[in-house]
C-alpha cells in the first residue's frame, strides 16, 4: 500500500508525478495561464484512487493504457474526455470508464475542478470478472461502458466501495491480507455491476454471486460483523468499523445495541476469543498461548488469559494442553 501527496507548479513536474502514480501522458497547458497541480492518492492491491486538481486549463493525452483500466469522476466541475472515438463529459453525476486498448484524452480545468481518478490493474480485474461470469475473455479487454451513472444504485455502491477502501488506507490498516482482499473484491464487484453491460438484467448464478458479494444494501451491523469475522486478528478500531459500514461511530454503536445489546468492540473481543479457542483446540506442540493470543488479535497475554477464563471457565493453557494431546 502506498500514499502519495504532491503539488507542482510546472507542467513537467506534474506530468512526472501523475505519470508515476497513474499513466504516462502528455500534458498541454493553455498558453499564458498560471499553472498549479495537486495530487493525493492511495494504492491498495491492484487499485489506486486519487484526487487530481489543476489550477489552469489543460489537456491530457495518453496512449493505450494496456495494463490497466481507469475510471475518472468529477467531484467538482465538468471535464471533457474521449476514449477512442467515443466522447463524453465527466461530471458530478457521470464518470468515464476507460478501457486499456484505446487512447484517451481529458480537457478542462478552465474553471475549478477536482477529478477522482481510479486505476485498476488489468489482469486482476479480468481474472475477477472471468471467475464470476464463467466467460473467458481470451485476452480481449472487458467491454465496459464508457458512461457510469454514479447516482444509480450500482454507481452509489461503487462510490461507497471506494470510500471504504480509502478510509482503511488512510487509517493505515489496509495492509492485512484478509481486510485488503475484502476491500479490493468489494470495489471490483461494484465496478463490474456498474459498468459491464448486461450484468444488471441477467439472472445467472454469476450475477447472483456478484450481488451477494457486493456491500450494497447490507446493513451497517452486517457489514461490521462480516469484517470482524473475516479480519479478527487485524487492528480493527471503532472508527474503521464505522467507516467500513458507512455510518458514524455512534450510529454503529446504536446498531449493535439494537441487534446484540453490546458494543462493537465488546463484540469484536468475543469474536477474537472464539477464534483463539478454536486455535488452541487444534494447536501443535510448537504453539504457545502467547502466540495464539497474538494471532487472534490480542496484544496482552495476561489480559487475554483473564478474559478467556471468564468466558470459557478454564485457562487457555488447559485448552492448549488438551489440543496438543488430541493432535498426538
Q: What is the pLDDT of residues 242-282, one digit of tens each?
A: 878 878 888 899 999 999 999 999 999 999 999 999 999 88
pLDDT of residue 328: 53
pTM above 0.95, yes or no: no
Q: What ranges make up the beta strands (E) of 55-103?
A: 58-62, 68-76, 79-83, 86-90, 94-98
Tell me: pLDDT of 240 over 90.
Answer: no
pLDDT of residue 239: 82
Tell me: pLDDT of 125 over 90.
Answer: yes
Sorting pLDDT into bands at 50, 70 and 90, what band is 118?
A: very high
Q: Are 234 and 173 in contact (CB under 8 A)?
A: yes
Fold adopted by 218-328: Arc Repressor Mutant, subunit A (1.10.10)
Q: What percentage of the chain has pLDDT greater than the value 90?
A: 52
The CATH H-level (homologous superfamily) assignment of domain 2-189 is Jelly Rolls (2.60.120.10)
pLDDT of residue 181: 86
Question: What is the Cα 293 distance to its own chain's centre?
Answer: 28
Domains in the chain: boundaries: 2-189, 218-328
pLDDT one-digit tens code per residue, 171-181? 777 777 778 88
Range with lowest mean pLDDT among 27-31, 108-112, 208-212:
208-212
Tell me: pLDDT of 105 over 90.
Answer: yes
Rounded average pLDDT over 55-73: 92
215 phi, psi to nearest 5 deg = -80, -10
Strand order in the sheet with 37-44: 2-8, 37-44, 47-54, 114-121, 68-76, 94-98, 147-149
Rounded average pLDDT over 33-41: 86
pLDDT one-digit tens code per residue, 4-13? 999 998 889 9
Q: What percentage of the chain has pLDDT greater than the value 70?
A: 91
Sorting pLDDT into bands at 50, 70 and 90, what band is 208?
A: very low
**Cell digits of residue 102:** 484505446
Sorting pLDDT into bands at 50, 70 and 90, what band is 149?
A: very high
Q: Are 179 and 200 in contact (CB under 8 A)?
A: no
Tell me: pLDDT of 295 over 60.
Answer: yes
pLDDT of residue 195: 93
pLDDT of residue 263: 93
Tell me: pLDDT of 209 over 80.
Answer: no
DSSP 8-state secondary structure symbol assigned to residue 141: P
Sorting pLDDT into bands at 50, 70 and 90, what band is 289?
A: very high
Tell me: pLDDT of 81 over 90.
Answer: yes
Tell me: pLDDT of 216 over 90.
Answer: no
Tell me: pLDDT of 205 over 60.
Answer: no
Tell me: pLDDT of 37 over 80.
Answer: yes
Terminal-residue alpha carbon distance, the chain: 41
Report how far apart, in Å, the C-alpha atoms of 55 and of each of 26, 147, 280, 326 are.
17, 26, 59, 68
Amino acid at each position: 500500500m502506498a500514499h502519495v501527496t504532491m503539488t507542482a507548479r510546472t507542467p513537467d513536474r506534474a506530468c512526472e508525478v501523475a505519470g508515476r502514480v497513474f499513466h504516462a501522458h502528455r500534458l498541454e497547458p493553455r498558453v499564458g495561464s498560471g499553472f498549479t497541480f495537486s495530487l493525493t492518492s492511495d494504492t491498495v492491491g491492484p487499485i489506486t484512487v486519487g484526487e487530481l486538481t489543476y489550477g489552469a486549463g489543460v489537456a491530457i493525452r495518453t496512449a493505450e493504457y494496456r495494463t490497466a483500466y481507469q475510471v475518472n469522476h468529477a467531484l467538482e466541475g465538468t471535464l471533457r474526455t474521449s476514449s477512442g472515438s467515443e466522447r463524453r463529459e465527466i461530471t458530478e453525476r457521470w464518470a468515464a470508464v476507460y478501457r486499456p486498448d484505446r487512447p484517451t484524452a481529458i480537457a478542462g480545468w478552465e474553471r475549478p475542478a477536482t477529478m477522482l481518478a481510479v486505476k485498476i490493474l488489468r489482469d486482476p480485474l479480468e481474472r475477477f470478472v472471468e471467475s464470476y461470469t464463467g466467460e473467458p475473455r481470451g485476452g480481449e479487454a472487458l467491454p465496459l461502458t464508457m458512461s457510469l451513472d454514479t447516482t444509480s444504485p450500482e454507481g452509489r455502491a461503487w462510490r461507497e466501495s471506494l470510500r471504504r477502501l480509502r478510509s482503511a488506507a488512510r487509517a493505515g490498516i489496509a495492509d492485512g491480507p484478509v481486510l485488503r482482499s475484502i476491500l479490493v473484491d468489494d470495489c471490483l464487484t461494484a465496478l463490474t455491476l456498474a459498468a459491464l453491460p448486461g450484468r444488471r438484467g441477467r439472472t445467472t448464478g454469476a450475477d447472483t454471486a456478484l450481488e451477494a458479494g457486493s456491500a450494497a444494501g447490507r446493513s451497517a451491523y452486517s457489514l461490521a460483523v462480516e469484517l470482524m469475522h473475516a479480519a479478527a486478528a487485524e487492528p480493527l478500531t471503532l472508527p474503521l468499523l464505522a467507516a467500513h459500514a458507512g455510518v458514524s461511530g455512534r450510529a454503529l454503536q446504536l446498531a449493535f445495541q439494537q441487534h446484540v445489546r453490546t458494543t462493537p468492540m465488546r463484540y469484536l473481543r468475543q469474536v477474537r476469543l472464539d477464534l483463539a479457542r478454536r486455535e488452541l483446540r487444534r494447536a501443535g506442540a510448537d504453539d504457545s498461548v502467547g502466540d495464539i493470543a497474538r494471532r487472534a488479535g490480542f496484544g496482552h497475554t495476561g489480559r487475554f488469559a483473564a478474559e478467556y477464563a471468564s468466558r470459557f471457565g478454564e485457562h487457555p493453557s488447559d485448552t492448549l494442553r488438551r489440543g496438543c494431546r488430541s493432535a498426538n
